[in-house]
Structure 1
Amino acid sequence: MIKRRQFLKNVTAAGLGLQFLPRLSFAATAGAGDRKFILIILRGGMDGLGAVPAHADPGYAALRGELAFGTNETLKLDGLFSLNPALKNLHGMFRAGQASIIHAVASPYRSRSHFDGQDVLESGHNTALAGQTGWLGRLLSEAGEQEQTAIALSHGIPLVLRGSQNGTSWAPSRLPGVDDDLIMRLKYLYQNDEMLKHSLEQAVMADKIASSAMMGNKKRNFRQNIAISAGHAVKFLKADSRLNIAILESYGWDTHVRQGTLKGPLANGLRDLDRGLGLIKSGLGQDWGNTVIAVVTEFGRTVWVNGNGGSDHGTAGVAFLAGGAINGGRIIADWPGLGKQNLYQERDLYPTTDIRAVFKGILHDHLRVSPDVIERKLFQDSTKIRAMDGLIKKRPA
């Protein structure tokens, strides 16, 4: 496998414009075998209480106001929590023991900037701007150039994947497509150059994979539609047995105005997320049993409803875990309560779980990353945060 930098250098030197190639290459990762990990980042700050209401908490209805769900409007989880009705696929996975919900969870970030919050979430550090690499990127760099690979479905390389020379991303090209005649001419031109011939073959294969995932979705917004990027992720994961990590992202979760309950921007976003989760499950087939999906956001939102019928930047929120490898059917929460005295700064859900404990548990128990690498390379500033046990099903010896 050639490095992306060398590939682009060779292609440019040969006179082939970059617009003629799909934006795809791969990155090496640790020896995870057939285990797959999909990280979905919801950018903007998803409202955890809007996604997973604490309907039986005495303070819920009064504090949430017009953002509170009615008693029979949600999908029951247990005696305290329920699920937004837009998340029907996730609810089915939960009941089947293939999804878990982590509530009152946050990164160590305690301010309210989207940029800084995402930086902390993806870098793995305690503070923003502490480095220029992400915890998955450092994992790839630590592994070196092995056979397993990773891809981000994004218009750029997200911070979480930076730190490896092989890290990259793919997104649909905004430029016109390439006709078959040009491809045939390029194949003829490169037939005696093994480097360019192989690179062109990889590019054509990637374009075919992506095109099949885009069928029927050409007019939809890639950046805001998880179902579209999930379709691409499934195609790539199925096409290359070495590919075992995918990163998806979506925008539009900053619901300051008219957030709604059964309808509105939050419900729309959750419905799209739910479609994406269902598509990944059905698309992966047997590989679903070896898959873990983590859905995270940079911070939660205020418990209080604001004057515009929305919620503002908060602290703790919710994370979802799904996949056939998940030891699911559980809500993991050291619940702080919604009494005014229990809120963080008298406005936010109080954080009781560090998201890094979740990441560490997945890395160790699912991707088989050693504790030394996790603590020394990936989350250097968090030795007191222990990996969360029991997230992953035990495999037969």
Structure 2
Amino acid sequence: MNRRAFLVSLPFLYAGRLFAAPSAPARFLLVFLRGGYDAANVLVPVSSSYYYETRPNIAVPRAEALALDADWGLHPALAQSLHPMYEKREAAFIAFAGTHDTSRSHFETQDSIELGQAAGARSYATGFMNRLAAELGGRGAISFTSQLPVAFRGTAQIANVALNMPATRGVDARQSALIAQMYAGSPLGSQVSEGFAARDAVMRDLGDEMVAASRNAVTARAFETQAQRIARLMRGEYRLGFVDVGGWDTHVGEGGAQGYLATRLDELGRGLAALAAAMGDAWRDTVVLVVSEFGR
């Protein structure tokens, strides 16, 4: 395969010329978006009235989606990254791809994908990428994670390099306290305090779920900043790689054309574009597959 970045989950569009004979040893990098990202707001079904009827507050407007054809558009946050790659036939979107796992569990579905076994089978002895590494001679495989993922579990020896970077909140506890103090004693004071308390309670609950679903994966921002490091290793001795990116378990505050998801997509897209650029000539024979356990 030649110069391809694939993104696979639920609604994704299949694009053009995909196969070409490699001119050098092929490379494969799996990017796992942990948390079940909202595929319908990445690859937008702009011709679907149902999409806009059921998403009155978070749908990406037709006028803002980057047109791919009459039926599909791309989230505008990807205008400077994946969209140019798509136009150069270096990116493809595969629509309606998924698994038979209907558990609705992040962990079970992630494991199903990483184990790569027939429906109904479940053995944690080996993941599909470890089996692939063994078929390729057991060398040249690397995981850019804090601990070896299920996909690389098995007998083949896998190099492990952690890329973790702590995430930060937009408004921290100190800033929240200052805002509450500004309104103290005013008619809005109690509402502001109650609002912050409710927000903190919700964010604690959902934050715990997102952290768990992310399985200690790096943030999208960390992936962006580490993309060149990944490329440097992948264009050298490593031919098979894995990295997971967390923060996609969006329940509140996702937004549409702007918002939390848009920011994460911007970071992810810039990371993938930086990876492609840093790979240099090796990009011609590199396949990057981006997956998530399910959509929203």
Give the alignment's TM-score, normalised by structure 2: 0.70
| 8 A Cα contact 1:43 1:251, kept in partner | yes
Structure number with greater Rg is: 1
Write the letter of the residue equivalent to 2:57.
E
Which residue identity does 2:59 align to in structure 1? A
* Residue of structure 2 aligned with 1:62, choices 39, 53, 56: 53
Give the equivalent residue in structure 2 for 1:254: 249
With over 3 angstroms needed to count, the CA separation of the structure-2 counterparts of 1:167 and 1:60, relative to structure 1, is: same
Inter-partner Cα distance in structure 1 for 2:123 and 2:36:
21
Provide the secondary structure at the position in 2 that maps to 1:300.
Answer: coil
Does the CA contact (< 8 Å) of 2:34 and 2:293 recur in 1?
yes
The alignment status of 1:231 with 2:223, answered yes or no, reads no
What is the match of residue 98 of structure 1? 90
Contact 1:109-1:127 within 8 A present in 2 as well: no
Shift in alpha-carbon separation, 1:279–1:79, aligned structure 2, 3 A: same
**Which residue among 272, 284, 293 is the counterpart of 1:277?**
272
Q: Normalising by structure 1, what TM-score?
A: 0.53
Map 1:1-397 to 2 at 5 A: 34-88=25-79, 89-125=81-117, 126-127=119-120, 129-145=122-138, 148-172=139-163, 223-224=218-219, 225-238=222-235, 240=236, 242-301=237-296
3-state DSSP class of the match of 1:230? Answer: helix
Using the TM superposition, give the Cα deviation of residue 173 of structure 1 relative to its aligned residue in structure 2, in angstroms.
Answer: 8.6
Deviation of 1:248 after TM superposition, in Å, equals 1.3
Q: Percent identity?
A: 33
Q: Is residue 155–residue 171 contact of structure 1 (8 Å, CA) maintained in 2?
A: yes
CA distance in 1, matches of 2:40, 2:160: 32
CA-based RMSD of the aligned residues comes to 2.2
Distance 1:276 1:127, change over 3 A: farther
Structure 1 unaligned blocks of 5 or more: 1-31, 175-220, 302-397
> For structure 2, which runs of at least 5 residues remain unmatched after alignment?
1-22, 166-215
Deviation at 1:33, TM superposition (A): 5.3
Contact 1:67 1:259 in 2 (8 A): yes
Q: Tell me the SS of whatever aligns to 1:275.
A: helix
**In structure 2, distance between residues paired with 1:128 and 1:256:** 31
Alignment check: 8 A CA contact 2:45 2:73 kept: yes
Tell me the distance in 1 between the aligned counterparts of 2:66 and 2:233. Answer: 33
SS of corresponding position for 2:97? strand
